[in-house]
Structure 1
Amino acid sequence: MPAPLVITCGDPSGIGPELILKAWNARRERPVAPFAVLADPQILQSRMRLMGIEGEIASIDGTQRSSDLFAKALPVISLVNRFIDRPGIPDRANAAGVMEAIERSVELVSNGDARAIVTAPISKKPLYEAGFRFPGHTEYLGHLAAARYGHPVQPVMMLAGPALRAVPVTIHIPLADIPAALTRDLIVSTCRIVAADLHARFGISRPRLAIAGLNPHAGEGGAMGTEEIDTIVPAIEDLNGEGIDAFGPLPADTMFHARARESYDVAICMYHDQALIPAKALAFDETVNVTLGLPFVRTSPDHGTAFDIAGKGIARPDSLLAAIDMADRMSRLT
């Protein structure tokens, strides 16, 4: 039997624990790949009672028994750092447990005890207040992977849904900082990773990369900005020289309608919202956040912690289930 997936609990004050329980409960109605959860068992038990979900939580030391247990009990690997249980109220006291879950998930997958990581949503603010020094989940996983595997890692965020795959070249930085951060080398290295992983982990023999412009109308020949001429076009030429099927730069306002999407396998966007807005607008509940460029598979829901509805039992598990399904498929291909 293959190793199970491992799911990190995310911020316990958010909807992560509820989504995990609903995803496990969904096994009664649809196939769900077996997984173990890195969490505080008391939090999950509390949410289970709150939502009226029937079942047991099985505390385990590692993942070895989780696949066998999954049908009748939710396998949980207890965290050393326990959580404060206050749904909807983020607390920096929970940061240690949130980070521990992420760290231990990387340890499990690198040891072969898990075949992929699925992460529930985290909130950056309480982590920053506790001294977390990374912009977000993606960058932290890249740091942990580099330390664990002993070589540099460039993690790349991709939003993958049934109608669109989209990658932002720059991610968690202010709009004002994007032109300086957007370099020819960054575009090229990002696209190399995307092309390689779409081939290896999605089974696309020669991925087609549509490259967006940064400025309105892709710069209008330099009239609305020169980043396309100075940076993006040279990067595309480099990629074509390496045999990667990349084309553009394309005006972002005409890239995402149905006919345009037929011409490419992934949209390479210049900044966070240019990629995430169309991805989430087209299929919010089915879109998955995938981290490319890692030496292991990692997926996540495309939404946040939703503190406003945490503890109410109304959060939909669709995106987490899609993330579990995608992690299962990707890890079987790799």
Structure 2
Amino acid sequence: MSNIHTSNNKNTLIISLGDPAGIGTEIVLKALASKHLNQNIKPLLVGCKNNIFQTYSKLIDHGFTNIPDPKKLDIIDIPLEKKIIPGIVDKNSGSASFKWLINATNLILEGKGNSLVTAPISKIAWHKAGHKFTGQTELLGKLTNKKTSMLFTAISPKNGWRFNTLLATTHIPLEQINNYLTKELITYKLDTLLTFCRKFNKNPLIHIAGLNPHAGEEGTIGIEEQKLLIPIINEWKKDNPDITINGPIPPDSCWISSADAWSRISTTNNAPDGILALYHDQGLIPVKLIAFDEAVNTTLGLPFIRTSPDHGTALDIAGKFKARETSMIAAMNNAWLLAN
């Protein structure tokens, strides 16, 4: 491991390498080689040093000649206990990624960096290793004793417009969503979304999606909009009179103006600064369709900035060195930007 200077870490990104059976190490090394990466960033990798060197050698063999030499990188070495087969997740890969994230979190809490970037993990592998968390977001909330929120943010490469979607609920079964959607939760999520959007626009436009088809059609296709969402929105408007909030908007049309703003040469005024989705896939399907390679999973509510690519471990291409690093680059750049 290289010497790690702790006196001034405002540019240091602590990077947990994710599941070693996936594409985490590959996309991190590719991202560090990219000309699109903010050159102020100083990476501190948390993972298996031997695995990093092996991945580097294989990338060179596959023609990626500009990959940074691991000898020149700062690495916290937590060796793999057993050999990992690319594309095959098991308790050993789950145990490794869990340990790496724990150590990376401790480093940032100790002030060794200004933000945390996490490569994808396998929830199945975590469960096989005995770690019953539904994701990295939930573990980070437990480690810091903080109430977290999952937001996906992306910057359009065509016009620089920032696209934000916050999830009211995350990794829970579909049948349980109604039990989680309370006045307190939705109000808190709207406040959280507003605070984030105000980093970029003093008076942002907020949209909130409906739960039912056609946003309930005035109660004919579900009563959640009439009984829960509309009263909450009306009360929130009174508490935030300078903010325009539209909704509940039918989910099948809620992201249309965002898709339009994303693809235009110049943005339009009717595109929202932030959208509140009520459950995981309601928000993630349009986010990935609109901005898959650019979107970044950002955890709000932590005492530090944490970002991650918006995709998973990509086990089907692990070890084939075909993975795109675009979302990891975006995760690193956004972590540095938000922290500084």
Instruction: Please give the range of the TM-score, normalised by the shorter of the 2 chains.
Output: 0.7 to 0.9
Equivalent residue number for residue 177 of structure 1: 176
For residue 70 of structure 2, the aligned residue among 50, 57, 71 is 57
For residue 211 of structure 1, the aligned residue among 194, 208, 212 is 208
**Take 2:94 and 2:114, find their aligned partners in 1: how far apart are those partners?**
25
Equivalent residue number for residue 16 of structure 2: 8
Q: Establish whether residue 190 from structure 1 lines up as the match of residue 203 from structure 2.
A: no
**Take 1:230 and 1:174, find their aligned partners in 2: how far apart are those partners?**
22
1:40-99 per-residue CA deviation (whole Å, 9 max, x = no partner) reads 0111111111111555324xxxxxxxxxxxxxx222111266453311111211323212
* Structure 2 unpaired stretches of 5+: 1-7, 157-162, 262-269
**Take 2:122 and 2:210, find their aligned partners in 1: how far apart are those partners?**
30
**Take 1:5 and 1:55, find their aligned partners in 2: how far apart are those partners?**
16
Letter in 1 for 2:315: F
3-state secondary structure, aligned to 1:77:
strand
Letter in 2 for 1:104: N
Equivalent residue number for residue 160 of structure 1: 153
Equivalent residue number for residue 324 of structure 2: 316
**Take 1:20 and 1:47, find their aligned partners in 2: how far apart are those partners?**
10
1:125-174 per-residue CA deviation (whole Å, 9 max, x = no partner) reads 0101222122111111111111xxxxxx2211111123531112111122
Equivalent residue number for residue 265 of structure 1: 273
Deviates more, 1:265-274 or 1:129-138: 129-138
| Deviation of 1:322 (Å) | 0.5
* Contact 1:122-1:305 within 8 A present in 2 as well: yes
- TM-score scaled by length of structure 2: 0.85
| Deviation of 1:3 (Å) | 4.1
**Take 1:318 and 1:134, find their aligned partners in 2: how far apart are those partners?**
27
Equivalent residue number for residue 38 of structure 1: 46
The ranges of structure 1 where at least 4 consecutive aligned residues each deviate by more than 6 angstroms after the TM superposition are none
Letter in 2 for 1:94: S
Equivalent residue number for residue 159 of structure 2: none
Deviates more, 1:95-104 or 1:295-304: 95-104
Equivalent residue number for residue 307 of structure 1: 315
Letter in 2 for 1:50: K
> Per the alignment, do residues 220 and 55 of structure 1 end up closer, same or farther by CA in structure 2, a change over 3 Å counting?
closer
Letter in 1 for 2:101: I
- TM-score scaled by length of structure 1: 0.87
- Equivalent pairs, count: 309
Equivalent residue number for residue 32 of structure 2: 24
Letter in 1 for 2:148: P
More helix by share: 1
**Take 1:103 and 1:31, find their aligned partners in 2: how far apart are those partners?**
26
Q: Establish whether residue 295 from structure 1 lines up as the match of residue 292 from structure 2.
A: no
* Contact 2:257-2:272 within 8 A present in 1 as well: no
In angstroms, what is the RMSD of aligned CA positions? 1.9
* Contact 2:126-2:133 within 8 A present in 1 as well: no
* Contact 1:81-1:100 within 8 A present in 2 as well: no
Q: Give me the identity figure in percent.
A: 35
> Per the alignment, do residues 5 and 308 of structure 1 end up closer, same or farther by CA in structure 2, a change over 3 Å counting?
same
**Take 1:236 and 1:42, find their aligned partners in 2: how far apart are those partners?**
53
| Deviation of 1:221 (Å) | 0.3
Deviates more, 1:203-212 or 1:113-122: 203-212
| Deviation of 1:266 (Å) | 0.8
Equivalent residue number for residue 63 of structure 1: none
Equivalent residue number for residue 66 of structure 1: none
| Deviation of 1:207 (Å) | 3.0
* Contact 1:14-1:307 within 8 A present in 2 as well: yes
Counting only pairs closer than 5 Å after superposition, residues 196-235 of structure 1 correspond to structure 2 as 196-199=195-198, 202-235=199-232
* Contact 1:5-1:116 within 8 A present in 2 as well: yes
**Take 1:87 and 1:173, find their aligned partners in 2: how far apart are those partners?**
28
